[in-house]
A = this chain, B = another copy of it.
Amino acid sequence: MPIGAAIDHAGSADQMTDTPKVQPRAATPGRRATQRPTIRDVSRLAGVSRMTVSRVLSDPELVLPATREKVHKAIADLGYVPDRAAGSLSSRRTGFIALMLPTLTNANFAAVAHGLTEALREADYHLLIAYTDYDMAEEERQLRNLLARRPEALVLTGAVHRRNASRMLLAADIPVVEIADLPSQPIEHAIGFSNYQVGRTAARYLIDAGFTRIGAIAASPEGEVTDHRGEERMRGFEDELRLSRMSTAMVMRHGTAPVSFHHGAGAIRALVERDPAVEAVFAVSDLSAVGAVMECQRMGVRVPDDISIMGFGDFEIGREINPALTTIHADFRALGLRTGEMLRELLADGGDAEARMIDVGLRVIERASIRGR
């Protein structure tokens, strides 16, 4: 067929084979005036078959430049955007990666989502985000919703321990990556750091700095709403103190997850009230730690002269306050990026790779909120 011979919109290709056969589904009269253009509309306008349009979009090399151009023009004229739901169904590739987080309202988790998106952008994967607000009951519901979208992989923070959840995961049969922790019994892959080790490291650091009266700040679990990873940190913290034969730390449980600046402020006040002689305090999150520092300023308690404060997470604000906050750094952005890379490998491989466990490590960031020996 000579190029350009079929620019008129009638009498070509797909058109006749696609005549309605029996009773077409009701056109839902009076709803939306405009009918969204489909690949068929494009094919008709361009005078080619639907397959050719599909090829132009997914593998343009296969199509003659002249044809390609006709198709692109038709696409532009119609404002056509392909329907990925239909494409997914046929190709069995949705291009979705599911991500389940405790909350988005936390800079570090937001950073994970951010890094992950970036790593997956050029591979044309789209992140499907769900969050549980630290509620385990919600977790299962969210998981079901996510799986219904047929993601090609699943990224989780925190364990999914429900019976049903496990069954669903098994049936889904996709790569699962747990992040931001290193579980003793990972579902499959894991990439992160040990929250338990965070706690131990913090305790060790404070002990080595010569403190003997050490306190801690955490949230108190409330039914199904629990910050498991924060609890892990506390467990490590208490274990390390115990192993060092220190008297039990004073652990202030205050409020519920998620913690916040305000949480830290309330907690340190309560803690100091209960033990005015406390020398050093570890907070399970920088948010609490920063709040604690601010409250100390208000109470006239000098940091670090009167009380030393240590956090976790290395949030930006910790670098900016006075005194700057000593903290334990875990690189969440990199976590997201590396998870993205791992996913791309796993998905390219066909997903039958060995289970991997990657420790991105921890780093104590020494700043000014801890008194030197």
Contact = CB atoms under 8 A, between A and B. Distances in A.
Given A128-B128, A148-B81, A32 B173 contact: yes
Given A36-B173, A321-B294, A316 B260 contact: yes
A104 B113 contact: yes
A149 B107 CA distance: 27
- Taking the full assembly, how many copies of this chain does it contain? 2
A58 interface: no
Contact residues on A (Cβ < 8 Å of other chain), bracket: 35 or more
Nearest to A333: B105
Interface in A121-140: 126-131
A85 interface: yes
A36 B172 contact: yes
Contacts of A103: 114
A149 B171 contact: no
A171 B78 contact: yes
A89 interface: yes
A301 interface: no
A373 interface: no
A10 interface: no
Contact of A262 (B31, B81, B316): B316
6 contacts: A37-B171, A76-B164, A80-B171, A81-B171, A126-B145, A321-B321
Given A81-B171, A110-B110, A291-B320, 7 more contacts: A85-B88, A85-B149, A103-B114, A128-B128, A262-B319, A317-B317, A321-B321
